[in-house]
Chain A
Amino acid sequence: MGVWTSYRLRLKRQQCHLRALRKRRQLAAVTDRTEAIRADDILAFSTIRNEHIRLPYFLDYYRTLGVNHFLIVDNGSDDGGREYLAEQPDVSLWTTTASYKSANFGVHWIGWLQRKYADGHWALTVDPDELLVYPFHDTRPLRALTDWLDTCQIRSFGTLLLDMYPKGVLDAQPYAAGQDPFEIANWFDSGNYSITKNPKYGNLWIQGGPRARVFFHDKPIKAPALNKIPLVKWSKRYAYVSSTHALLPRGLNLVYDQWGGEKASGCLLHAKFLDTFSAKSAEELERGQHYANSYEYRAYHRGTKEDTDLWCDWSEKYLNWRQLEALGLMSKGNWA
C-alpha cells in the first residue's frame, strides 16, 4: 500500500468519524442503560424500523449466545417496536426520524454509538433479520469465540450473509412474534456465489444466492453484497465504511486467507424472506431510503407481485452449522 493510498484511506476514515459525530445530534436517547456495561461485555448494535414482530426472537437469540448489552437506533418505528425495546433491561435505545439514507444507511448513527461505547469491546453489528451462526455455536457461547479470537490476536470475524427462504410463495406461512424464522424460511442456495476482491478496501465482494438468481439474473452487478464483517474487537479508531461490508483500517477486512488456507468464519442467516416481506418492500419502495435508489426493493416488488417462489429443485434445506461447514459456506479454520 502506497503512502498516497494510505493517506487517502485515513482521510476517508476521518470523514466517517466526522459524519458520525455530526449525525449524533439526530439521535435522541429513549432509554440509556449504558452505565450497566462492564469492561468485558459483548455489545450488539442494530438499527431498526418497524420490526417489532422480529424483535423478541432477535433479542432472545443473541442473549442466548451471550450478548450482554444491545445498543439500538430506532428509525421512526410506529409499530410499537420502540416501546417494546424501551422495556428491555439490557437494551439502550436511541430514536431518530431523520433520513436513513443520508446517514449512510444507518452507518453514521451506529458509528457514533460504537465510537462512544464500544472501544475495547467485542462489537456485533447486525440487522434484526440477521442471525449469526459460527462454528460450534450450538455448544460454545459467543464468548468462547471472542476469547479464542483474542488469543489468536484476530480483530474481526467474517461471515457470508445467507439468504433463507421458504418453499412456496413468501406469504404462504405467516410468521408469529417470537417464532424461530427458520422454521418457515429453512432453505438456501448452497453453491452459486461469485466472489471478487475489492481493491480499494481489500474486502471480498460476494454476490449470488437466491436474490441474484431470481431478481438480478439480468443485472448481476446490482445484486446485493453478501460479505459481512459483523463481529469486531472495536477500537474508536475503527469505522464501518458501507454497512458492515467493509471497515477501515483495511487490515480489518482481511477475514479471508490468501494463500490457500481457510480462516474461521460464520454465516449470518438472513430471515428477510417471510410473509412480512411483501409489505416491507412496498413501504420501503415508497420511502426510497435504501441502497442504490432501492433498486433491490423495486426488483423484489416486481418479483413478489407475481408471487415469486425463491425455492428451486436444488435448494438446500437448513440443518445446522456443520452442514454449512461441509458445503463450504463457512469454516472452522483452526478452531477445533
Chain B
Amino acid sequence: MSLGIVMLVHDALDRARQLVRHWATNGCPVVIHVDDNVTPDDFAGFVASLSDLDNVRFCDRQRCEWGTWSLVAASQTASEQMLKAFPYVRHVMLASGSCLPLRPIPEMLAYLNRHAQTDFIESATTEDVPWTIGGLDIERFTLRFPFSWKRHRRLFDRYVKLQRWMGTKRKIPEGLVPHLGSQWWCLSRNTLSAILNDANRSTYDAYFRRVWIPDESYYQTLARRHSSQIESRSLTLSKFDFQGKPHVFYDDHLQLLRRSDCFVARKAWPYADKLYDSFLSNQGGATAASATLIDPSPGKIDRIFTKAIKRRTKGRPGLYMSSRFPREGHEKDVTAARYTVLEGFADIFEDFDEWLADTVSARVHGHLFAPGGAQFAGGGDVFFGALSDAAMLRDYNAKAFLTNLVWNTRGERQCFHFGPRDNQEVSWVMAKDPNARVYVVSGAWAVKLFHSNRAPADLRRQAARLQQIENAHLNALRSSYARARTHIWSLADFVLNPADLLQTVVDDTGPRTGVPLTNLPKMRPLDGFPEFLQNLRNQGMHPYLMGDFPSDLDLVATAQTRQHPNMVR
C-alpha cells in the first residue's frame, strides 16, 4: 500500500529535485510533469540528477498556463502513467514543485491507510463558494473562455460581457454537477482510475477544455460522480489572497507550519532554506503511533491569512499613511475612535474643564482649534505622537491634525471644545465622521461677549460674525451628509435645565462613577443677558441662535437646579 505523487513542476528546479528525492526515498513513487517552458538543457540536467531513483518517472511534457486546460491535461497524463507503472499505489496525490511535506511521510502513509477508501478533495457546488475571481461562479461552466485571462485580459473581459449580453449558455454534459475546490487533491486509486477510464471521458474533456480554471473543477466535479467517500478538504494547506495568488511561506512561518499538523503546504518560497532544511531533513525515525491520529488543524494559519486579506481590503479605520489614503467618502470612518466635541459649554460655565476632567474618564482638552494654537490637556506644547500645538502647523492640515490626534490616542476617549472662534476647517470633517459626538449649545459664545463689558455697538460686528460662522457649522451638522451624532440646544433651552443635559453629555462620554451628577460646574451669571441681546437687536443685529430668552428670564430657577439637581432620569 503506498502513496504516489503526481508532481507538476515549472520553475525552481533545485527545490523540486529536493522534494522528489524526499518523496521517492521515503517510498512514494513520483511521476513528474515538467512544463515545456523549461529549457531542454535544464530539463536534461533535472532528469539526470534524479536518474538514480528507480521509482521516479517523467511524463510527456506540454506547455502549461495558469487557469487553462493544459494543467488538467498534464495531471491526466502523469496520473495515467502513475497508475500503470506503479500498481501498488493506493492513493495518488497531486502536488507542485513547491509543495512542502510538513509531517513525516510514514505518518502520512499511516493516515491514508486508516482512510483507505477516502478521497481527499475539496469539492463544493458553485452556489456555496466565496472564491470567485472576476465575479465568475456558475458562469465558469456556462460561458466559453478562449482568451487568456493573464495575457489578454481585455479580450477576456469583453468576450465574457458579450456572452452575457447574448445570453450564451453552454450545456453542461448530462450527469455532471459542477463543483469547485482547491486544485490539490489526493484521490484513491479506484476513484482516479474511474475518472480516467470513464466511458464519457472524451465528452467531459472536450467540455472542460473551455471551462475557466478547469484545474479547480475537473476532478472536483468528476470525483462527485465516481467517488464512494469524499472528504471535502485538501490535504494540501494552500491559502489564497484576495487576488487569487497563493500565499507564500517563509522561514518565519516554521513554527506555525509545524503546529498546524498539516501534511503538505503550498507554497514555500524557494529560498526559504530553513523551511526546506527542517521539513526535508530525514524524518524517517520512529513515529509515535498516536501522532498518526492527529488531524490537520490549519486554524491558526487561516486566521493569519484572513487577517492579512482584511488589512489589505479594509485597512485600519482612521489611519492615513503612505499606503492608505482613502478617497473622501471611502474612509469607512474618518477617525479611529469616538470622541466628544463640546461647543459653548466653556462659555457658560466657569472652570468647566476641571469639573469635566473630574467627572468623566476621558482626556479633556481645551479649544484644540483655537487661533493661538492647540490647547492640549495639561497645557503642554506637544502631545501624543509628538503632535505640535503650533497653530500654523495645525492649520496647514487641520483634518490631519484631528485624525492624527484620535489615532495617536486610540484607547482613550478624547474630549475637546470647539466654537465659532476656532478654525472651521474641521467643521465638515467632524460632521461627516460617525465617530464624532457633538454637543452644541448654540449662541453660547454671546455669554463671553456679554461679560466683556464692552458697548453693544462695538460687539455688534463681532457677534454677527460669530453667529454667521456658527450657523454655517450647524448647517453642516444638520445636513444630509452628516454622520456625526449631534445634540444641539439653544442657549435659552440649555440654561433652563442644564443638569439633565450635562448628564447626557457625561453619560455618553464615560462617567467616572455610575452615580448621577451631584455637583455641577458654576454657571456664569446671566442677569441682564436678555437686555444685552435686546441691545444687540437695537444695534441692527439679529441674534437668533440663542433661542428665545424671555425678557424676564427667571435665573433663580437655574440656581436652584444647581443646588438640587433634577435626578429623575
Cβ distance A335 to chain B, nearest Cβ, rounded Å: 7
Interface presence of B158 (CB below 8 A) = no
B-side contacts of A255, CB under 8 Å: 322-323
Please judge, given known A-B contacts A221-B396, A313-B382, whether A332 and B308 are in contact too, CB under 8 Å.
yes
Query: Is B385 touching A314 in the complex (CB atoms < 8 A)?
Result: yes
What is the bound-complex CA distance between A220 and B243, given in angstroms? 40
Interface presence of A302 (CB below 8 A) = no
Interface presence of A5 (CB below 8 A) = no
Cβ distance A180 to chain B, nearest Cβ, rounded Å: 22
Contact flags A215-234 to B (C-beta < 8 A → 1, else 0): 01111110000010000000
What is the bound-complex CA distance between A333 and B309, given in angstroms? 8
Give the interface size bracket for B toward A: 35 or more
Query: Is B382 touching A191 in the complex (CB atoms < 8 A)?
Result: no
What is the bound-complex CA distance between A144 and B248, given in angstroms? 10
Query: Is A191 touching B321 in the complex (CB atoms < 8 A)?
Result: no
What is the bound-complex CA distance between A207 and B396, given in angstroms? 10
What is the bound-complex CA distance between A336 and B246, given in angstroms? 11
Interface presence of A4 (CB below 8 A) = no
Please judge, given known A-B contacts A139-B250, A191-B385, whether A330 and B323 are in contact too, CB under 8 Å.
yes
Cβ distance B445 to chain A, nearest Cβ, rounded Å: 28
A-side contacts of B117, CB under 8 Å: none
Q: Name which residue of chain B comes closest to A326, CB basis.
A: B316
Q: Name which residue of chain A comes closest to B401, CB basis.
A: A194
Residues from 228 to 255 in B contacting A, C-beta threshold 8 Å: 241-243, 245, 247-248, 250-252
Query: Is B322 touching A330 in the complex (CB atoms < 8 A)?
Result: yes
What is the bound-complex CA distance between A158 and B323, given in angstroms? 7
Residues from 303 to 334 in B contacting A, C-beta threshold 8 Å: 304-305, 307-309, 311-317, 319-327, 330-332
Interface presence of A76 (CB below 8 A) = no
Residues from 103 to 157 in B contacting A, C-beta threshold 8 Å: none
Contact flags B153-178 to A (C-beta < 8 A → 1, else 0): 00000000000000000000000000
Cβ distance A320 to chain B, nearest Cβ, rounded Å: 13
Interface presence of B383 (CB below 8 A) = yes
Cβ distance A83 to chain B, nearest Cβ, rounded Å: 35
Please judge, given known A-B contacts A191-B384, A262-B324, whether A336 and B307 are in contact too, CB under 8 Å.
yes
Query: Is A190 touching B386 in the complex (CB atoms < 8 A)?
Result: yes
What is the bound-complex CA distance between A244 and B40, given in angstroms? 42
Interface presence of B397 (CB below 8 A) = yes
Please judge, given known A-B contacts A190-B385, A336-B305, A336-B307, whether A260 and B393 are in contact too, CB under 8 Å.
no
Q: Name which residue of chain A comes closest to B333, CB basis.
A: A260
Please judge, given known A-B contacts A259-B327, A313-B380, whether A217 and B250 are in contact too, CB under 8 Å.
no
Residues from 324 to 349 in B contacting A, C-beta threshold 8 Å: 324-327, 330-332
Please judge, given known A-B contacts A158-B322, A192-B387, whether A220 and B382 are in contact too, CB under 8 Å.
no
Cβ distance A223 to chain B, nearest Cβ, rounded Å: 8
Please judge, given known A-B contacts A139-B252, A193-B404, whether A259 and B386 are in contact too, CB under 8 Å.
no
What is the bound-complex CA distance between A264 and B308, given in angstroms? 10
Residues from 406 to 444 in B contacting A, C-beta threshold 8 Å: 407-408
Contact of B245 among A139, A144, A152 (CB under 8 A): A152
Interface presence of A204 (CB below 8 A) = yes
Please judge, given known A-B contacts A136-B252, A336-B308, whether A314 and B323 are in contact too, CB under 8 Å.
no
What is the bound-complex CA distance between A175 and B387, given in angstroms? 29
Interface presence of B400 (CB below 8 A) = yes
A-side contacts of B384, CB under 8 Å: 191, 314
Interface presence of A334 (CB below 8 A) = yes
Please judge, given known A-B contacts A140-B251, A212-B393, A213-B382, whether A333 and B312 are in contact too, CB under 8 Å.
yes
Interface presence of B388 (CB below 8 A) = yes
What is the bound-complex CA distance between A195 and B197, given in angstroms? 63
Interface presence of B529 (CB below 8 A) = no
Please judge, given known A-B contacts A206-B322, A261-B313, A331-B324, whether A191 and B386 are in contact too, CB under 8 Å.
yes
What is the bound-complex CA distance between A296 and B408, given in angstroms? 27
Query: Is A328 touching B319 in the complex (CB atoms < 8 A)?
Result: yes
Interface presence of B88 (CB below 8 A) = no
Interface presence of A312 (CB below 8 A) = yes
- Of A190, A227, A255, which is in contact with the most chain B CB atoms at under 10 Å from its CB? A190
| 8 nearest A-B pairs in the assembled complex, by CB-CB distance | A191-B385, A334-B312, A265-B323, A336-B308, A194-B397, A220-B396, A189-B386, A191-B408
Question: What are 9 sample pairs from A and B whose C-beta atoms fall under 8 A apart?
Answer: A144-B269, A192-B385, A212-B388, A218-B390, A258-B325, A260-B315, A262-B324, A265-B322, A314-B382
Not counting A140-B252, A152-B243, a sample of 15 additional A-B residue pairs whose C-beta atoms are within 8 angstroms of each other reads A141-B271, A147-B269, A151-B245, A160-B321, A190-B385, A193-B321, A195-B322, A218-B392, A219-B392, A256-B321, A257-B324, A258-B326, A258-B327, A262-B311, A328-B407
B-binding residues in A (CB < 8 A): 136, 139-141, 143-144, 147-148, 151-152, 158-160, 189-197, 204, 206-207, 210, 212-213, 216-221, 227, 255-265, 312-316, 328-336
A-binding residues in B (CB < 8 A): 241-243, 245, 247-248, 250-252, 269, 271, 304-305, 307-309, 311-317, 319-327, 330-332, 380, 382-388, 390, 392-393, 396-397, 400-401, 404, 407-408
